[in-house]
Chains A and B, each alone.
Chain A
């Protein structure tokens, strides 16, 4: 059973546009929701994370929106740039040892 469902699988956005990646979960015990960015041949790197006591967190052009009642969270990349082209993974964690990743979204930002 997939604990965290991520969509879309791939995304093409024009430079300057908004990229939106969605994730959904079932387990209400999750209490930490990070997003990771991975470039080809590299390890994933933490991009931004949120805890369920807030509905939104913004860091530069990256925003997480969190809907606790719907058990959904999403990553918004404003003013998308070609350098943002990468694979993005959402994740959910509880108890510091139950960590589940989404299946990943391959983002391609066209110049």
Chain B
């Protein structure tokens, strides 16, 4: 158990809809990262937050947005969903040591 929690575990929705994925980092970790992993694909970095502020942006679509709240939990919002957005979405957190600890992921299925 990495100490990072993600909800929900599974999400099934329709094209055009909007969903919110939630992540709680390990206790004390200020950084939160979001990744997308499509079937049999590598990890695509989406975005990083540090203590509530956006720190780095990767290949995140304009339809996607994220935020980190004062209690350090983070949410990833995906809107106008397309079939191709079906994937595993991982959240990771890190502290001063730099090591990233991954949550169990949210499996999103867009029908």
Contacts and interface: CB of A to CB of B under 8 A. Distances in A.
A32 B42 CA distance: 19
B33 A99 contact: yes
Given A44-B90, A97-B50, A97-B56, A102 B98 contact: no
Given A96-B98, A104-B42, A43 B55 contact: no
B104 A89 contact: no
Chain A contact-residue range equals 20 to 34
Given A43-B90, A44-B102, A46-B101, A96 B31 contact: yes
Contacts of B33: 99
Contacts of A42: 104-105
Contacts of A44: 43, 90, 102
Interface majority SS on A: helix, strand, loop or mixed? strand
A49 interface: yes
Contacts of A96: 31, 94, 98
A34 B102 CA distance: 13
A97 B103 contact: no
A97 B99 contact: no
A32 B94 CA distance: 13
A56 interface: no
A97 B2 contact: no
7 contacts: A42-B104, A43-B105, A44-B90, A45-B102, A97-B56, A101-B43, A104-B41
